[in-house]
């Protein structure tokens, strides 16, 4: 990973700042909410204590804490409905309409209360609606009718029936001792629908008792005794539960802005309700301005149940888990929050006692707009600040990393160039800087100077040794020649012969060491000639095949003519060195390939041979003076062959390099094609 990416990753650590800030805001919001919850709990306890003075209102509901399907709840209606067979003006949700058991939802009903009247709505699915032509025409069985059974506190039963003769308005009827009598105080409307019929009725409250039962009769045919009858606990009516005006008046005195109070009996039926929660999203208008910040806020804060669950239950019976705990004489609380709207509600529930008897429960719900507004503003400021800070730090670090990596790359490139050029004359960048990179540049410069001096010493070592050893060697050779004319024993003559052979080998070594110096002088003084490298290489390949029959030679070329201006002797000497190196590292019957092709504006002369690959450590030193990877004695192993080849290639304006292949090693010499024009100029 480069330095720029490393610093960029380090800059991401600045994201710890917004994370820590968000954690702080979350803790702050939790602490404020818990404080509001404690305050709301104290208020709820005080109100619950004040409601304990109305035990009769709770007992009037008639529930013993057990929920029964037969119980009927009369919803408090906001406006007086118009009796027309429609329930649209009841201001009730669809969930408030219940279904009669045992009919698979074919019959639905609901009860409402407004003023001194009780309202009844029934909707039934019936493929064939049979109307009563006359009360005595078909008896009581073969037409549609809806019956309402009422029982008062002392057990008196009253039965009311709705028997339409046609769609439209009708009066309810009352059954007295088996006779049907019209009850003009009960108004109703029968409305046909594509799937059946609907009934809407208004009944004075004083006509009904404390228990109600509903029975709906659907007739398949007026001439057939087959009857489908669906009833809602017709034989045992359930308790009719409505809101208590006294309790409603009592809790209205505690109603405040954004505060809702709900009073239930032991079974959870709602007896009173006052106040409303605010409809604005959490955080007020400021939250709407935050946009994505508001969504980020919702994702960071503590999650709770959806705020919709805090709404009063449409059936009239509160069923939240925290309320059930309160009905079991345990104080409870809950936290509601909608992720999409951001609305948040705190709810507490307290049991209501009348002496030692629990009569009901009180629920207080309050929105947390003030808390969310405070935390939303803080979150907005925090996100803005940390976002700007993070972007600023990231850009600064990115720019600094780019500048720093540029300096390092320039220093690296200059150090690599110094390996191919005169290291003693090359000035590295940032050498005058006072930072660590400047120190590194100066250290590199010193190392490269020492390396250049050492390489220069190695390059001149051969000529120095050959010059210094030539005179002593001449003296040794002349002394041995003079010694041969003296009378010697057989052993002395044998030792003299050995010394003469050693002097001859030493002479060859000195000649090889001085060859590099002669090549440099020849390259400086050589007169370029126009030659065809293609023909020269082709002829040399054939000569090599004759000189080394134990090897196989092959010549490849991508052109037929390759004009070049240079020294043919030097070119052939360079090729001799490369072929000699290939022979030394290949085995018998191995194939040595000599090839010529063009690469851009250069000729590429290649010599490839199978054999061991070049060691990685020798890649940069292979063409230095007196460097060899061969093992074994012999002057030809002094490491001067590739050095001489490099001098010849460089003298012709070219370069040389070595590469490992799958089969062995290949040497590439690059010579400029326009060498002829350059030499003529």
Distance separating alpha carbons of residues 654 and 47, to the nearest angstrom: 102
CB under 8 Å to 85, separation ≥6 — which residues? 189, 190, 191, 198, 199, 200
3-state secondary structure of 675: helix
Which among 377, 288, 306 has a CA at the least distance from the CA of 29?
377
Poorest-pLDDT segment among 63-72, 224-233, 591-600: 224-233
Q: What is the 3-state secondary structure (H, E, C) of 23-47?
A: HHHHHHHHHHHHHHHHHHHHHHHHH
- Listed in order, the ranges of the chain carrying CATH 2.60.40.1190 are 72-242
How much is the average pLDDT of 76-105? 88
CA distance 303 to 339: 8
C-alpha span between 620 and 657 (Å, rounded): 9
Least confident of 88-97, 300-309, 382-391, 606-615: 300-309
State in Å, rounded, how far the first CA of the chain is from the last one.
49
CATH architecture of residue range(s) 72-242: Sandwich (2.60)
Of 8-17, 290-299, 474-483, minimum mean pLDDT range: 290-299
May I ask the CATH class of domain 421-525?
A: mainly alpha
Give the pLDDT confidence of 232-269 residue by residue, as tens digits.
444 468 899 999 999 999 999 998 888 999 999 999 99
**Between 626 and 175, residue with greater pLDDT:** 175
CA 178 vs CA 151, 159, 175, 432: distances in Å: 17, 10, 6, 120
More confident call, 228 vs 304? 304
Tell me what the mean pLDDT of segment 658-669 comes to: 91
CB within 8 A of 332, min separation 6: which ones? 322, 323, 325, 326, 348, 349
pLDDT at 24: 74
- Give the residue range(s) of CATH 1.10.287 domains in the chain: 421-525
pLDDT digits (tens, 9 = 90+) for 164-220: 989 999 999 998 777 888 899 999 999 999 999 999 999 999 999 999 998 888 776
In this predicted structure, the answer to whether residue 640 has a pLDDT above a threshold of 90 is no
CATH 3.30.450.20 domain span(s) along the chain: 13-49+244-377
Residue 469's nearest CA partner among 511, 523, 426, 410 is: 511
pLDDT tens-digit map of 530-572? 999 999 999 999 999 999 999 999 999 999 999 999 888 889 9
- The pLDDT of residue 449 is 78
Angle between helical axes of 16-51 and 369-420 (0-180°, round to 10) = 170
pLDDT in tens, 575-619: 998 999 899 889 899 999 999 999 989 999 999 999 888 887 666
**CATH assignment of 526-680, among 3.90.180.10, 3.40.109.10, 3.30.565.10, 3.30.1050.10:** 3.30.565.10
Q: By three-state DSSP, how is residue 665 classified?
A: strand
Lay out the sheet containing 602-610: strands in order across. 552-557, 591-599, 602-610, 664-672, 655-660
Task: State the pLDDT at residue 443.
Answer: 84
Handedness of CA 205, 209, 213, 216 (dihedral sign): negative
- Least confident among 180-189, 210-219, 343-352, 460-469: 460-469
Domain spanning 13-49+244-377: which superfamily? PAS domain (3.30.450.20)
- 337-341: long-range contacts, CB 8 A cutoff, minimum separation 24: 337/282, 337/301, 337/302, 337/303, 337/304, 337/305, 337/306, 337/307, 338/306, 338/307, 338/308, 339/298, 339/299, 339/303, 339/306, 340/298, 341/281, 341/282, 341/307
pLDDT classification of 340: cutoffs 50, 70, 90:
low
pLDDT interval class at 10 (50, 70, 90): confident
Q: Are strands 107-114 and 72-76 parallel, antiparallel or unpaired?
A: parallel
Of 80, 110, 78, nearest in space to 95 by CA: 110
pLDDT of residue 353: 93
> Of 219, 216, 278, 266, which Cα lies nearest the Cα of 241?
266
Residue 97 has pLDDT above 60, yes or no: yes
């Amino acid at each position: 990973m480069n330095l720029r990416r490393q610093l960029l990753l380090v800059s991401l650590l600045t994201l710890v700042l917004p994370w820590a800030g968000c954690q702080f805001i979350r803790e702050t919001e939790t602490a404020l909410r818990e404080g509001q919850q404690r305050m709301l709990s104290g208020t709820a306890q005080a109100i619950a204590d004040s409601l304990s003075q109305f035990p009769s209102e709770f007992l009037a509901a008639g529930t013993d804490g057990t929920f029964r399907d037969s119980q009927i709840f009369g919803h408090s209606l906001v406006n007086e409905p118009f009796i027309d067979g429609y329930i649209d003006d009841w201001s009730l949700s669809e969930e408030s309409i219940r279904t009669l058991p045992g009919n698979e939802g074919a019959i639905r009903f609901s009860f409402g209360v407004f003023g001194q009247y009780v309202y009844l709505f029934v909707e039934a699915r019936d493929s064939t609606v049979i109307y009563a032509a006359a009360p005595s025409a078909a008896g009581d069985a073969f037409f549609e009718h809806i019956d309402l059974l009422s029982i008062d506190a002392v057990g008196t039963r009253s039965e009311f029936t709705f028997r339409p003769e046609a769609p439209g308005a009708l009066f309810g009827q009352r059954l007295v001792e088996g006779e049907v009598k019209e009850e003009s105080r009960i108004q109703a409307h029968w409305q046909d629908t594509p799937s059946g019929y609907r009934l809407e009725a208004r009944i004075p409250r004083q006509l009904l008792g404390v228990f109600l039962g509903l029975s709906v009769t659907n007739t398949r045919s007026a001439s057939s005794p087959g009857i489908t009858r669906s009833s809602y606990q017709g034989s045992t009516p359930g308790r009719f539960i409505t809101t208590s005006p006294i309790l409603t008046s009592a809790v209205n005195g505690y109603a405040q802005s954004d505060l809702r109070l709900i009073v239930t009996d032991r079974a959870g039926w709602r007896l009173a309700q006052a106040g409303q929660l605010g409809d604005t999203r959490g955080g007020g208008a400021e939250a709407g301005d935050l946009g994505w910040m508001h969504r980020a806020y919702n994702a960071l804060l503590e999650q709770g149940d959806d705020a919709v669950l805090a709404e009063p239950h449409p059936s009239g019976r509160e069923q939240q888990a925290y309320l059930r705990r309160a009905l079991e004489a345990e104080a409870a609380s809950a936290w509601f929050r909608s992720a999409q709207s951001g609305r948040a509600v705190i709810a507490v529930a307290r049991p209501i006692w009348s002496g030692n008897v629990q009569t009901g429960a009180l629920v207080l719900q309050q929105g947390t707009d003030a808390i969310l507004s405070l935390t939303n503003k803080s979150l907005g400021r925090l996100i803005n600040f940390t976002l700007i800070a993070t972007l600023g730090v990231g850009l600064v670090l990115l720019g600094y990393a780019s500048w720093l990596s540029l300096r390092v790359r320039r220093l690296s490139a200059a150090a690599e160039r110094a390996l191919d050029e005169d290291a003693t004359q090359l000035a590295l960048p940032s050498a005058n800087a006072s930072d660590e990179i400047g120190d590194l540049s100066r250290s590199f410069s010193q190392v490269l100077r020492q390396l250049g001096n050492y390489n220069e010493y190695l390059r001149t070592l051969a000529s120095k040794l050959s010059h210094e050893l030539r005179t002593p060697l001449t003296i040794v050779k002349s002394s041995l020649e003079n010694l041969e004319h003296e009378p010697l024993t057989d052993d002395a003559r044998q030792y003299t012969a050995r010394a003469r052979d050693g002097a001859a080998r030493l002479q060859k070594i000195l000649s090889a060491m001085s060859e590099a110096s002669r090549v440099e002088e020849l390259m400086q003084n050589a007169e370029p000639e126009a030659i065809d490298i293609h023909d020269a290489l082709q002829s040399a390949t054939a000569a090599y095949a004759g000189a080394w029959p134990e090897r196989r030679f092959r010549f490849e070329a991508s052109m037929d003519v390759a004009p070049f201006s240079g020294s043919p002797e030097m070119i052939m000497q360079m090729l001799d060195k490369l072929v000699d190196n290939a022979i030394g590292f290949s085995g018998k019957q191995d194939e040595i390939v000599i090839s010529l092709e063009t690469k851009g504006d250069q000729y590429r002369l290649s010599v490839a041979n199978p054999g061991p690959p070049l060691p990685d450590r020798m890649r940069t030193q292979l063409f230095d003076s007196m460097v060899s990877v061969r093992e074994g004695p012999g002057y030809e192993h002094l490491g001067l062959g590739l050095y001489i080849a490099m001098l010849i290639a460089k003298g012709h304006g070219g370069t040389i390099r070595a590469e490992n292949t799958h089969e062995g090693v290949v040497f590439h010499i690059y010579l400029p094609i326009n060498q002829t024009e350059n030499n003529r100029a």
